[in-house]
Amino acid sequence: MDKNIRESLFEKALEAANNSYSPYSKFRVGAAILCKDGTVFTGTNVENRSFGLTICAERSALTSAISAGKAEFEAVVIATPDADYPVSPCGACRQVLSEFLDRDAEIDFGSSADALQKTTMGELFPFDALHELGQRS
């Protein structure tokens, strides 16, 4: 992904993080997902007292895109401005993202644009059993 696109996506993710509802963890997260047609959708984490009902930023952005009729994605950038180090997507987000992103789709995450950890869906989630099952006849 081009550096300018990555930085633009990070800025959008950071803006989304500023809208976070995180009164329990005090840990803001924002995500920007780039569709293959160039459209960008953002999402933020929305916590709940029943922590299992919390919605992560990555899934928030993805469901916004799906709700708008988009289903082909090129990249995801995640901003975690309250972290001292790059925080990767949780297991639930990895599973949900793997449903829609190709193995070579870029996923970058970090607390600043200068310190983004760059990876791919395949590197982040190497043993995607659902896709393996789908390849068997």
Q: Which residue has the higher pLDDT, 137 or 89?
A: 89
E strands, the chain, in order: 30-35, 40-44, 73-79, 106-110, 117-120
User: pLDDT tens digit string along 113-131?
Assistant: 888 999 999 999 988 766 6
Tell me which residue has tokens 């090129």: 74
Taking the C-alpha atoms of residue 35 and residue 24, their distance in angstroms, rounded to an integer, is: 32
- For residues 38 and 101, what is the distance between their CA atoms, to the nearest angstrom? 15
Joined tokens for residue 59: 């899934």
Residue 81 to residue 69: CA distance in whole angstroms: 30
DSSP H helices, 84-137, are 91-100, 121-124, 129-135
- Superfamily of domain 3-135 in CATH is Cytidine Deaminase, domain 2 (3.40.140.10)
Q: What is the pLDDT of residue 137?
A: 43
What confidence category does residue 136 fall into, taking pLDDT thresholds of 50, 70 and 90?
very low
pTM: 0.92
What Rg, from alpha-carbon coordinates, does the chain have?
A: 14
* Catalytic center residues: 58
Where in the chain are the domains? 3-135
Identify the helix (H) or strand (E) that includes residue 5: helix 3-17
